[in-house]
Structure 1
Amino acid sequence: MARGHVMVLPMPCQGHVVPLMELSHRLVDHGFQVTFVNTEVDHALVLAAMAPDGAAALRRIHLASIPDGLAGDEDRKDLNKLIDAYSRHMPGYLERLVGEMEDAGRPRVKWLVGDVNMGWSFEVARRLGIRVASFWPASAACLAIMLKIPQLIQDGVLNDKGWPVRQETLQLAPGMPPLHTSLMSWNNAGAPEGQHIIFDLVCRNNKFNDLAEMTVCNSFQEAEAGAFKLFPNILPIGPLFADGEFQKPVGNFLPEDARCLKWLDARADGSVVYVAFGSMAIFDPRQFRELAEGLELAGRPFLWVVRPDFTPGLSKAWLAEFSQRVAGTGMIVSWCSQQQVLAHRAVACFVSHCGWNSTMEAARNGVPVLCWPYFCEQFLDRSYVTDVWRTGLAVSPGDDGIVAKEEVRGKVEGLIGDAGIRKRASWLMDAASECIGEGGSSEKNFKKFIDLLSQ
């Protein structure tokens, strides 16, 4: 007998879909029926990328979709455009979906578990008599900074448009990551002329989140003790993962290339450099070549995820020649099961954009990180890795903004050769394991969450 019907709504981006899908599998494990609502475009990507047996592995997760308000060919990696469209168009579509499900005889939705970035949905849910719990997919420190915006404006750190008044390094509380005021997430998410759209969204979502009866996040106590002390009502339930066998689909937008796992099996323990920059980062051809040649110079086996849209304008002939040259040591795939890769004994380090999912997956598996942030909150995540946990290093671009191949080689060698970093990464892994284990802080918080949704 199902405990109740829960609707789950992520922000329409890969990095938000995955943790909420992982959470959905956990809800199903505890007897809930879940309707997972993607945008139509993301829904189609998830279905196309799913393995043939994926539908069976979803069990009581019903996949549904609504339009995002953009035309079919518009750029959904333009966050300003995406946020503006979904904020205006999706509330009506979501309300209609709830009505259609009831008309079709589906059990009534009791709870919305919504991404904080989709705060407008909390208002829709409450109007329909649906209770709300919110999920924050990034670091608790990132949410803490957003919740402190009124205070930062009052203190003269920011102006009322979200831009820094003072160029300084900010640290909200002891143990929290220091962050320069020029690197606030809402000011580093796209074209500056669209910045007001994201800043307005953040400010609105801060208010909408008051409609939620509980806020949970994909983090753990030891990782962010300072942030949880500052905001004890944000409950960590992570690091999240769907299942220990990696069999359950987690909503990837691209098909996974499973060949890389067999390739890893043939490599020595702690020998492989894993390189992946998530679903949004774009490199120009010059930076791509410097990274490629830096990996080649390092002379270590590497597994590199290169999405089809990662480097527009890159010479196919150059890439083919490079791939042939490194065929004995390197493997390039378009997407992979990252959690499986990071859990593999052969992986020595992770060259990462520092998205929060990647950061948590590295922490959970004790993998040192070479930080190469791209946008949004990734600069804050870099600060956790390099300044707070000290489980990795960061690349340093030259005066021209390019990370040179010699820098890539030097930092990879420095990272792999640092016993202190490996030791701290191992400690963080053990702390994460303790938190999600029986009687751990994340496990206790998850029980509170389940108890609430069972009401």
Structure 2
Amino acid sequence: MMSTPTVLVLPAPGQGHVNPMMILSHKLVDHGCHVIFVNSDFTHKRVVRSMENNNGSSSTIKLVAIPDGLGPDHDRVNLGELCDSMSRTMPSELEKLIEDLQLNEGIKVTCVVADVFMGWALEVARKVGIKGAFFWPAAASVFVLQYNASNLVADAILDSDGLPISEKPLWLSSYIPTMEIRDLWWLNMFDPFVGKQMFKYMMHCLRNSNLTEWFLCNSTPELEPEAFSLLPNILSPIGPLLTPNNNNTISVGQFWEEDISCMSWLDQQPQCSVVYVAFGSHTLFNQTQFTELALALELTNRPFLWVVRQDPNCTNKVSLPPEFKGYKGKIIGWAPQKMVLSHPAIACFVSHCGWNSTIEALSNGVPLLCWPYFGDQFFNKNYICDALKVGMAFDSDENGMISRGKIKEKVDQLLSNENTRSRSHKLMEKLKHNMDEGSTSSTNLSSNNRQLL
């Protein structure tokens, strides 16, 4: 009798990386695999703590941790420093974990599925004689750009640090929107030195692309047809990776406890009336901008659900202004976002444009108001507004601020635009079809599953 294959899944230590890889892990379990989900020790503690608070569990998936090389009190905000530490510490720890699993528990790992941002893991997989696959958690269009970064260096568009030599916009194809050089994700890391670190780290990770034939991607040709046509024999779409809409299902892999009380509050709101506001796990506002956003939500005179992340370790402290009443709204610390976006009361989503949030909104026909913060979010904003035409972007002033009046104006403009809503619903139908059994993504997942194992 053939033994059950065991897949070791390794996400990068960020909420937007852990989420889709956890959903992928559950799909692998559904396809008859055992899954060992390996987080950094810091991330592992956050995930387990959140599950305990939510009374959740992941009994079908084994959760384990390896050190990232930084101390327990390190804030891990500097991503360049974190990636440098991971690349020095985690390869040997991963190899040791694989060996210990076999020696101490009799578990033989069949395959490693690694986030591209953890690309060094495929070197470990090759060393111990097991197969490996890459998983790309962002837009396929961004992957095309990243995959061709060495060509951009060779063509003297970028220097060896990933910095622009020319200000000429990048144009990859007729469908992928023109990208301003300043929107390259590694140039949006706040600190230019960190950007250079991240660019070199990713180039190192992609050097391991010759160690696998499988690049799995959380997207679909219905969403990004041109991106997949540019890399037809490399990139394999298996998205959108979404958990089933089930009000009794707690998301596994969250860094914060989900406040389920917002669902009963949404039940009391009129259909297509609520402005949902959430900015992911990294976005920080200064007090002035936070105040403008709070007062703008009141100015809209619409019900709103606003996620204000509660992070005790964050030094960026903001507070609601004294004049804010919030009678029509509800503020929570962390949302069960997939459930929220599928609720009929939601009218639009004010978002940082992280790829997971984008996918979740588009899969539920929710138009977006785009407020990117860093990384690939600026490209996603352009894609949402210019290519898909299912959202609008805020315009900041010369100081980078967005006033309460401009926020209200843009909310009113989006919600009165029937063409945007119509396009959102048409795209939703295409994406829902691609989640069905027998769809391109479902077939790709089954096919890759057989080849990998």
* Length-normalised TM-score, structure 1: 0.95
Cα drift, residue 245 of structure 1: 2.0
Residue 299, structure 1, aligned to residue 301, structure 2: yes
Partner of 1:111 in structure 2? 111
Partner of 1:170 in structure 2? 170
Q: Tell me the secondary structure at the aligned position of residue 278 of structure 1.
A: coil
Cα drift, residue 100 of structure 1: 1.5
Partner of 2:413 in structure 1? 414
Give the distance between the partners of 1:159 and 1:280, measured in 2 at CA: 28
> Structure 2 counterpart of 1:12, which letter?
P
Q: Tell me the secondary structure at the aligned position of residue 89 of structure 2.
A: helix
Confirm or deny: 8 A CA contact 1:242 1:248 kept in the other structure: no
Give the distance between the partners of 2:105 and 2:73, measured in 1 at CA: 34
Confirm or deny: 8 A CA contact 2:353 2:370 kept in the other structure: yes
> Structure 1 counterpart of 2:155, which letter?
D
Confirm or deny: 8 A CA contact 1:153 1:159 kept in the other structure: yes
Give the distance between the partners of 2:54 and 2:189, measured in 1 at CA: 36
> Structure 2 counterpart of 1:294, which letter?
A
Cα drift, residue 105 of structure 1: 2.1
Residue 438, structure 1, aligned to residue 419, structure 2: no
Task: Spell out the pairing of 1:352-367 with structure 2 (5 A cutoff).
Answer: 352-367=351-366
Q: Tell me the secondary structure at the aligned position of residue 446 of structure 2.
A: helix
Q: Tell me the secondary structure at the aligned position of residue 257 of structure 2.
A: coil
Partner of 2:30 in structure 1? 29
Give the distance between the partners of 1:329 and 1:353, measured in 2 at CA: 23
1:245-302 deviations in whole A, cap 9, x for unaligned?
2625330000000111111010000000000000011111111111111111111111
Q: Tell me the secondary structure at the aligned position of residue 420 of structure 1.
A: helix
Cα drift, residue 201 of structure 1: 1.1
Residue 274, structure 1, aligned to residue 276, structure 2: yes
Q: Which moved more, 1:389-398 or 1:437-446?
A: 437-446
Distance 1:127 1:313, change over 3 A: closer
Partner of 1:5 in structure 2? 6
Cα drift, residue 190 of structure 1: 3.5
Give the distance between the partners of 1:248 and 1:305, measured in 2 at CA: 17
Partner of 2:211 in structure 1? 211
Partner of 2:340 in structure 1? 341
Q: Tell me the secondary structure at the aligned position of residue 179 of structure 1.
A: coil
Give the distance between the partners of 2:103 and 2:243, measured in 1 at CA: 31
Of 257, 260, 269, the match for 2:259: 257
Give the distance between the partners of 1:294 and 1:132, measured in 2 at CA: 48
Give the distance between the partners of 1:126 and 1:449, measured in 2 at CA: 18
Give the distance between the partners of 2:261 and 2:245, measured in 1 at CA: 20
Task: Spell out the pairing of 1:34-113 with structure 2 (5 A cutoff).
Answer: 34-51=35-52, 56=57, 58-113=58-113
Distance 1:293 1:35, change over 3 A: same
Partner of 2:156 in structure 1? 156
Confirm or deny: 8 A CA contact 1:54 1:249 kept in the other structure: no
Cα drift, residue 156 of structure 1: 2.6
Q: Percent identity?
A: 40
Confirm or deny: 8 A CA contact 1:80 1:190 kept in the other structure: no
Partner of 2:243 in structure 1? 242
Count matched residues. 449
Partner of 1:15 in structure 2? 16
Q: Which moved more, 1:157-166 or 1:26-35?
A: 157-166
1:67-102 deviations in whole A, cap 9, x for unaligned?
111111212122112111111111111111112211
Give the distance between the partners of 1:215 and 1:408, measured in 2 at CA: 39
Confirm or deny: 8 A CA contact 1:282 1:309 kept in the other structure: no
Provide the alpha-carbon RMSD of the alignment: 1.7
* Length-normalised TM-score, structure 2: 0.95
1:225-254 deviations in whole A, cap 9, x for unaligned?
110010112011111123342625330000
Confirm or deny: 8 A CA contact 1:119 1:208 kept in the other structure: yes
Cα drift, residue 20 of structure 1: 0.2
Cα drift, residue 159 of structure 1: 1.6
1:139-186 deviations in whole A, cap 9, x for unaligned?
111111011112212333212221111223222012113211011111
Of 279, 287, 290, the match for 1:288: 290
Runs of 5+ in structure 2 lacking a partner? none
1:414-442 deviations in whole A, cap 9, x for unaligned?
11111010011111101101112233211
Consecutive aligned runs of 4 or more in structure 1 exceeding 4 Å deviation = 51-56, 310-316
Cα drift, residue 191 of structure 1: 1.2
Give the distance between the partners of 1:322 and 1:64, measured in 2 at CA: 47
> Structure 2 counterpart of 1:8, which letter?
V
Give the distance between the partners of 2:54 and 2:318, measured in 1 at CA: 37
Give the distance between the partners of 1:80 and 1:413, measured in 2 at CA: 40
Q: Tell me the secondary structure at the aligned position of residue 110 of structure 2.
A: strand
Partner of 2:368 in structure 1? 369
